[in-house]
């Protein structure tokens, strides 16, 4: 495959794609944990809000989310900041809009994964930790979270694969990620097939890497070989 000196462009794009995916993963995990906490909370209002969040976001195309946050995000943010007396113009970069949209989408699906994992942990685990005199916070971090992690990894791994592939959508609003650089290179060389195929193979490599990492984490979180039941 002759890349005609555009190889470094693809490499820099790949780096942007990786950064976008990892940043969205971090925020998406936070949204997912908060969503699951809200869905399992004793307060009805929180449960309704979390259900509204997951139903809305899971039914709307990711591309539409990216476009909404990029083209409508500054309007939305300026309206919000107006309450605090801030009325300068705020511009949202493609990267920020992308991280926002992808983490919101990831969080909606992760909410379900965390909720299922949480429900799969027997109540006795909480009760015996309390019997030892642990506080709810201690119980969560010492007893529940390590088990939650093991049950949630396979589901989260699948979601990360989806996230990785959805990063390509952010190129539509002009982020210089792998997809966009392939577009630029194919425009200059008039060889679109070569460059999109190169981009496809790089994405393929990234998803394989993500799968291997997930499998590694799965084995590490499950030294007893119990297997995930969630």
Partner 1 sequence: MSWEWGIIIEYLPRLLDGAWLTLELVLVSGLMGLALAVPIALARSSDNFWVRALPFAYIFFFRGTPLLVQIFLIYYGASQFDAVKESALWVVLKEPYWCAIIAFTLNTAAYSAELFRGAIQAIPKGEIEAAKAMGMSPPLMIRRVVLPRAFGIALPAYGNEMVLMLKGSALASTITLLDLTGMARTIIARTYTPLEMFMAAGLVYLVIGAAMIGIFRLIEYRFNRYQYYKHTPLPANIDPQLRDEHIDD
Residue 158 near partner 1 by CB under 8 A: no
Q: Which is nearer to partner 1, 76 or 145 (CB)?
A: 76
Q: Which is nearer to partner 1, 71 or 141 (CB)?
A: 71
Find the part of the chain contacting partner 1 (CB under 8 A) among 4-12, 31-39, 57-65, 149-157: 57-65
Residue 168 near partner 1 by CB under 8 A: yes
**What is the footprint of partner 1 within residues 76-135 (CB under 8 A)?**
76, 78-79, 82
| Three-class DSSP labels, the chain | CCCCCCHHHHHHHHHHHHHHHHHHHHHHHHHHHHHHHHHCCCCHHHHHHHHHHHHHHHHCCHHHHHHHHHHHHHHHHHHHHHCCCCCCCCCCCHHHHHHHHHHHHHHHHHHHHHHHHHHHCCHHHHHHHHHCCCCHHHHHHHHHHHHHHHHHHHHHHHHHHHHHHHHHHHHHHCCCCHHHHHHHHHHHHCCHHHHHHHHHHHHHHHHHHHHHHHHHHHHHHCCCCCCCCC
Of positions 44, 45, 59, 124, contacts partner 1 by CB under 8 A: 59
Residues forming contacts to partner 1 in the complex (CB under 8 A) are 55-56, 59-64, 67-68, 71-72, 75-76, 78-79, 82, 165-169, 171-172, 179, 182-183, 186, 190-194, 196-197, 199-200, 203-204, 207-208
């Amino acid at each position: 495959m002759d890349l005609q000196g555009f190889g470094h462009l693809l490499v820099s794009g790949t780096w942007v794609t990786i950064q976008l995916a990892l940043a969205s993963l971090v925020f998406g995990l936070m949204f997912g944990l908060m969503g699951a906490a809200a869905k399992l909370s004793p307060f009805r209002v929180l449960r309704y809000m979390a259900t509204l969040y997951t139903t809305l976001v899971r039914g709307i195309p990711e591309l539409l989310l990216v476009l909404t946050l990029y083209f409508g995000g500054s309007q939305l943010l300026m309206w919000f900041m107006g309450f605090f007396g801030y009325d300068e113009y705020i511009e949202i970069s493609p990267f920020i809009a992308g991280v926002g949209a992808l983490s919101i989408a990831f969080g909606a699906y992760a909410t379900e994964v965390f909720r299922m994992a949480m429900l799969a942990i027997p109540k006795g685990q909480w009760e015996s930790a309390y019997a030892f005199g642990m506080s709810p916070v201690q119980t969560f971090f010492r007893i529940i979270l390590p088990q939650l992690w093991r049950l949630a990894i396979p589901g989260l791994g699948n979601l990360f694969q989806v996230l990785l592939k959805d990063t390509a959508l952010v190129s539509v609003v002009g982020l210089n990620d792998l997809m966009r650089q392939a577009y630029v290179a194919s425009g200059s060389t008039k060889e679109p097939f070569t460059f999109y195929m190169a981009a496809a193979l790089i994405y393929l490599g990234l998803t394989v890497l993500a799968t291997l990492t997930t499998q590694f984490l799965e084995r590490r979180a499950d030294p007893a070989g119990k297997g995930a039941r969630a």
